[in-house]
Structure 1
């Protein structure tokens, strides 16, 4: 049995005009600052919210112009959007993972801001010669003294729903998760490795199950801190004994479709369900979209 994603994952629904041509024009960036909006993000990834809606400040609150700490996110209704890292913020603060209802625009705005700001926090020195770097292209690259350019780093990771080809799915719980929290198996792609071989290796390392019929489903940015999740599905054998060889997984089980549907109806990891055996990830995760697609 094969299936496709029933929806585009939440963080993959692009609605923002990223305006690449504006990044290359320093004059346009400065001129647009006057009526720009700015998203302020604290070191923990939290932003100011009002009634669960993110707060965008006028650029004048931040300064007279886009300093080196600001990153250009795009253009909405003729106005520039920027993000800056703030050491401390006042008011009601939340991050993307705990916001209530997230629309497509908010999801993309936050995920892009997180990814860029997280990269800048870790890219202040050139990877080749160790020299100090400075932001360029509205924060979409950094230059060393010789003019050599580095771009935001993205770490590819696979995430795979393993099922039996019929009515059961394999879900696992990591060592540090509460007893009812289960999700799909995932891991980072290694150098010199294809995506499909990574899926095979990660599942074998984490639970000892061999796979067949691996197929790609879709992708989603996951800026915690800078991953790109690549979703797959594959078939495994429920009769194969689990082997937790890498120490990441505390337990794994084959759940029926009815059990998964009941967990989806119950909510997500934040739900309080006395006696529940299974809770699944929330809506911003591609894991949720994949699980829902299989369950349907």
Structure 2
């Protein structure tokens, strides 16, 4: 597969996942401000921007959060920027992206460009973005061959999901004194319903952390996503060696997965923020390793939106 196409598919996966996870975070943030009158809006807004790596130079409130993470095309962390990146990546790989996927991405971009979503209530806007991401992902799943190109898309999606989930867990760990911290994180990950069914109504912070970190069946847990990324790397390794690792990305992801899976939960929780920061660094290093191995021959591209 051409490096240019492989790289584009990889970034389609990353950008779409980033847009969806950002919409989840924004939705929970808005609901928290509405449901809990004692929450300090400025502190909560600053915390969310910090989780997303945004340095706010102005007073942080709901309006500025929605602008910086939602609709500002100049903000690399915004959903609009993520969709712009996904559309540009899809345009560069039109020969392998199915017509249905291209139309779904382009339709979403046109909706954003016209400002229809931005004029809706914040909760409705976030729900619409999530639904459009689900439409695109489901369309890709059912209309694209699950070949090497598909594996790159899955790998990009998985790495982005690991990074974003680690950011949310880190924020919950820092705010563990708040009785709503882990409940908010479960909701942000779309995990609350699955968590309640799995633990039959138990709602301790320890069990919430265990679910988001180690559940093997929930698709947004860290362990599930690490396994999915590792599987994609195995499927991409057409020249599999009989011993050792065939690439730095496999080594990085495999080590992170093993450290998470085989350490006692009590040890993981001892210094959870530092572990989540280290996992984000691992994702960045794995991203660079994938780029070096598979995308080195791709034409130089200047990305105007999204964080690389």
Larger Rg: 1
Same fold (TM over 0.5): no
TM-score, normalized by length of structure 2?
Answer: 0.25
- Higher strand content, 1 or 2: 1
- Higher helix content, 1 or 2: 2
Which structure's relative contact order is higher, taking Cα pairs within 8 Å and 6+ residues apart?
A: 2
